[in-house]
Structure 1
């Protein structure tokens, strides 16, 4: 009995033990059965936040208790983390629940709990965090205007900033929607988040997170748009995430992203959904050799895509049908645009070719995904920088479209993901032009400095003026009483009075002035033409007299009453766009006199017209003689050198010889004009800037012509004389190769002339890209010295580039070498010349340019600085020139 009694008891114990062991085994096996990352069929079980442990991680729920999200992250109460919070008050509010209308369709439900509480600040307050590993850090700020019995959070106005960056300037919540602001900034030893309420207002924050970011998610360089130059130094720039879209898929929540990012669906931004088809793929691959990991973007981004619906493409009557996404942005900022691709639609490699456009500008002319990514279903991304000057209507439009002449596969295009990030501006701000110290960095900042010292400046000017009068009074001529007025000898007049109009009766009449120059008319600005005079000169602006079209307007050739032939540049009628360029051109040219700079005859500012009058340049823009115009005579190498030397002298005078250094800002072959003797003159000063001698640079929005833009100026928005040097380096290679500076239809490595030429120069084979029309006429030594000068001009950083004076010296040396080689007996075998062709084999003669003057300093008044007004002036803009 006793034994029988114990046997069932032992069986129960053994069974229980076996059952527990079985459960333990199942749990262990289950825990080990998760597919490793490389074997995962889908992204969901793989892309979890615990795959990446940030070096720094501060997750704070402000004004309330701890919150745990479904992705496993825990937001601690800032009350518990009081050591990070510096404030003299403890004002909190919370609510439960928040209405559904406060959330957007893309707001993850897991984040909703972070908006249910807030901390309110009535004075400057700060969160301070230690940084263990210096580098890029996420800053995510959560805002929602909760109800409070005393404070109406919808009326709060405040600024949020870090140690270096202004994140939000005078921020307010104009509706009852949740707001998530996400930034990527550099941090060193510590990172502070400072809240500054506006006077008589307050600030608030619902939640914030600070997390270290892996280096591989941000490249230091990107392609400029249109495609051409490479922009470097992006790691030193702060970024704000404006849009992060998952094409063809649903919202990707932080739970399914390694870095806790949210990816919204693209439908709200798709401008042609009826022509778009969502597709899915699987088994996405990442290639480490392409610096691609799941940290860049999770598999779920690459598993879905939008492609062109084949039926829509077949039915459309527009041959350049593209998939398009439009997003609203602040057009005063530049943007980093990242596009994610993965070929999940092709059956074989090299079947899918398409082009990428941003704001109508070419990003990639012929993208073969499998070539770039390395295989089908392989993740790949590419970055672009879009400058603020290329943004219109406060929007960015991203497009992908097929290549109509593709010989393989059906025409199509795809996009898997898109990120649009605002780049911090010159004030290290994402919202306005004030620095963290409250300093204004806008275009008028120099004017504010002038106003601050205006009283002292006026006093010195008055003393100087009185001194001049005293000196001139002592030197007055004996017959000074017979002069019409004392100003003719006492006051310095810039230029010859004989050339100025005496018709001043109508200047201050009822005519409508567009720029206001008429009302402050000065002799120094040149002759003030009446509109009737210029209409008579151009047969009422007859289209048959048009000789060029540019960004400012059309250029007409005209003949004045005295028979003088002139070029008349007329601004687009009724447009306010060119007033600044109109005024700048007049003010600059009225102060400059140099053999190799255009001279302004006068202007017309009547009846809302903006018209500039120059001398007529018989041989037009330099570019027309290099390529693009079949009827133009080919310039010899010696002629090209002399023209480059003339242009260099003009720029050297601008930089060093003018009263105040001047930066041209738009140096290109269409702004180098040639007179009847092929003497070069630099033209078009509408974008020019006076150099800030005390700072060495001018802080200004980037303007100019693509292909010629200095990458350092593009990146830092700080204009220097070396920006002109870079542009002139591009001109030199353009002269040598006789091809456009940007050719979107060529393979990517040939699109930018500067990059292409530098590649050949590094190989020591620059002779292979010389214009075939002159290849056999160039002395080897002359070519070497010329290309050395061009290569130095294109240095990545301005400090490494030569001055225009040094460039001029090298060009003159190159000319001397060419002239010396030409003295060799023509009957000898010219083995020291490049190529097989010889000059003038056709027997054709070309106009011989005037011999350039001997080398002088930029301020040599006896040579280059004397120009008679009313003799000759060019037309700065030629036909078929890309507008600024």
Structure 2
């Protein structure tokens, strides 16, 4: 027994001090096991993510959208964004990227590859009714090609809530421009008249020039965007409806915004083109008065904005309610022409309201008349600098042409019945 330690000292290999060192084969096997486990975990995670995206796609109405696109011959793949693309574009939906918040969701500013700036609308909650609105908006906007309608660039359906991607409009909403405390000065009358005419032109196009007539269903100043040149861009077609060729009205759940809703639609649930006319009349009155039409912002006796506006016009108090700068720019005659048009749009009986085509035509004529008056005024200023007798005779001719009244202009512009 005493000789064993001596033997170990003499031959250390015969008495190793610890476990045997791993061989190259063992290390390779360990590496394969670790790598395999990692790849298996990664593959499982990827499959779960893909399955979740597929579930969101179905939940957000993706199959319905594909069916509608296929029936209309639209390439759906050209309008689909990935969740990763939009997350990167918004810096993971950072608070600093928020352009605005609404009842249905939040709008973010995003930058796509190539430095293309877009607006990304992210819904708050999705239920069945909102999915229908969402799909509605995509299918309708995919078929509209109008310079005064916000372009829909695409959507993303593989996130928990659906995302819509629009062209970016730089100057905010008409509502913000009218009501913001940071914009104490009103829009020049020239801009107001043009914005009104452009918006009316869009509605006239939807009602009578689109392949299938479309009722917007939610016209309001916050759905009219302004670009850097104050060109109007109509947005938010979630409540819009196609009108079948054999019908003039659609029975539906009442959707819209308090203060802008057509009273007939509110009581009957029947949406018509004249519902858009009423809402547009509210926007015209809002432009003139710079007052919010929403009922709870007004005193008890003035809750009905249409009635309140009609009283202002009938009592001759509208000019007192308006910005002095606008009264000077436009003149009482043109202001009251627009006000009377607004009152016609706000008629309680839909059948007695004008069509949007008639409204757009009248606003365009008012705009042309204003341009003519400005040209005449410019000529007067230039003539004042002519020498001698030429000044007197030319001034008489210019003054005669300037006596052409707004009423005469409107009458002469209208087509006579055949």
TM-score by length of 2: 0.72
Contact between 1:782 and 1:815, CA under 8 Å: does it hold in 2? no
Aligned-residue offset at 1:773: 4.4
Equivalents in 1 of 2:204, 2:51: separation in Å? 36
CA pair 735-535 structure 1, distance change in 2 beyond 3 A: same
Mapped pair 1:733 → 2:277: no
Find 1:685's aligned residue among 237, 254, 259.
237
Deviations 1:497-537 (CA, angstroms, capped at 9, x unpaired): xxxxxxxxx89984531223158635445510000000000
Match of 2:162 in 1: 610
Match of 1:228 in 2: none
Match of 1:515 in 2: 60
Match of 2:397 in 1: none
Please report the RMSD computed on the Cα atoms of aligned residues, expressed in angstroms.
2.5
Equivalents in 1 of 2:92, 2:285: separation in Å? 41
CA pair 774-647 structure 1, distance change in 2 beyond 3 A: same
Equivalents in 2 of 1:565, 1:632: separation in Å? 28
Equivalents in 1 of 2:108, 2:185: separation in Å? 23
CA pair 742-773 structure 1, distance change in 2 beyond 3 A: farther
Match of 1:72 in 2: none
Find 2:178's aligned residue among 622, 626, 635.
626
After TM superposition, list the pairs within 5 Å mapping 1:95-114 onto structure 2. none
Please say which of residues 722-731 and 685-694 is displaced more in the overlay: 685-694
Equivalents in 2 of 1:766, 1:665: separation in Å? 28
Equivalents in 1 of 2:338, 2:55: separation in Å? 52
After TM superposition, list the pairs within 5 Å mapping 1:628-647 onto structure 2. 628-631=180-183, 634-647=186-199
Match of 1:546 in 2: 98
Q: Secondary structure at the match of 2:106?
A: strand
Equivalents in 1 of 2:276, 2:75: separation in Å? 27
Aligned-residue offset at 1:812: 1.4
Mapped pair 1:766 → 2:310: no
Mapped pair 1:566 → 2:118: yes
Equivalents in 2 of 1:538, 1:756: separation in Å? 43
Equivalents in 1 of 2:265, 2:65: separation in Å? 34
Deviations 1:22-79 (CA, angstroms, capped at 9, x unpaired): xxxxxxxxxxxxxxxxxxxxxxxxxxxxxxxxxxxxxxxxxxxxxxxxxxxxxxxxxx
Match of 1:877 in 2: none
Report the count of equivalent residues.
324
Contact between 1:779 and 1:821, CA under 8 Å: does it hold in 2? no
Equivalents in 2 of 1:550, 1:618: separation in Å? 18
Match of 1:488 in 2: none
Q: Secondary structure at the match of 1:540?
A: coil
Match of 1:149 in 2: none
Contact between 1:568 and 1:613, CA under 8 Å: does it hold in 2? yes
Deviations 1:300-349 (CA, angstroms, capped at 9, x unpaired): xxxxxxxxxxxxxxxxxxxxxxxxxxxxxxxxxxxxxxxxxxxxxxxxxx
**Between structures 1 and 2, the one with greater helix share:** 2
Deviations 1:201-241 (CA, angstroms, capped at 9, x unpaired): xxxxxxxxxxxxxxxxxxxxxxxxxxxxxxxxxxxxxxxxx
Equivalents in 2 of 1:737, 1:645: separation in Å? 18
Mapped pair 1:584 → 2:136: yes
Contact between 2:258 and 2:295, CA under 8 Å: does it hold in 1? no
Q: Secondary structure at the match of 2:179?
A: coil
Contact between 2:254 and 2:266, CA under 8 Å: does it hold in 1? yes
Find 2:272's aligned residue among 720, 730, 746.
720
CA pair 769-824 structure 1, distance change in 2 beyond 3 A: farther
Mapped pair 1:709 → 2:261: yes
Equivalents in 2 of 1:733, 1:810: separation in Å? 16
**Between structures 1 and 2, the one with greater strand share:** 1
Equivalents in 1 of 2:212, 2:98: separation in Å? 35
Q: Secondary structure at the match of 2:142?
A: helix
Equivalents in 2 of 1:747, 1:605: separation in Å? 44
Find 1:810's aligned residue among 362, 372, 383.
362
Mapped pair 1:797 → 2:349: yes
Match of 2:372 in 1: 820
Mapped pair 1:667 → 2:219: yes
Aligned-residue offset at 1:646: 0.7
Aligned-residue offset at 1:712: 1.2
Match of 2:327 in 1: 775
Mapped pair 1:787 → 2:332: no
Contact between 2:61 and 2:131, CA under 8 Å: does it hold in 1? no
Q: Please, which runs of 5 or more residues in structure 1 have no aligned partner? A: 1-505, 829-854, 856-884
Equivalents in 2 of 1:733, 1:790: separation in Å? 6
CA pair 751-512 structure 1, distance change in 2 beyond 3 A: closer
Deviations 1:710-738 (CA, angstroms, capped at 9, x unpaired): 11111221111000001100100101111
Deviations 1:411-446 (CA, angstroms, capped at 9, x unpaired): xxxxxxxxxxxxxxxxxxxxxxxxxxxxxxxxxxxx
Deviations 1:586-620 (CA, angstroms, capped at 9, x unpaired): 11101111111121100000033300000000011
Q: Secondary structure at the match of 1:756?
A: helix
Q: Please, which runs of 5 or more residues in structure 2 have no aligned partner? A: 1-49, 382-412, 414-418
Contact between 1:565 and 1:616, CA under 8 Å: does it hold in 2? yes
Higher relative contact order (CA 8 A, sep 6+): 2
Q: Secondary structure at the match of 2:118?
A: strand
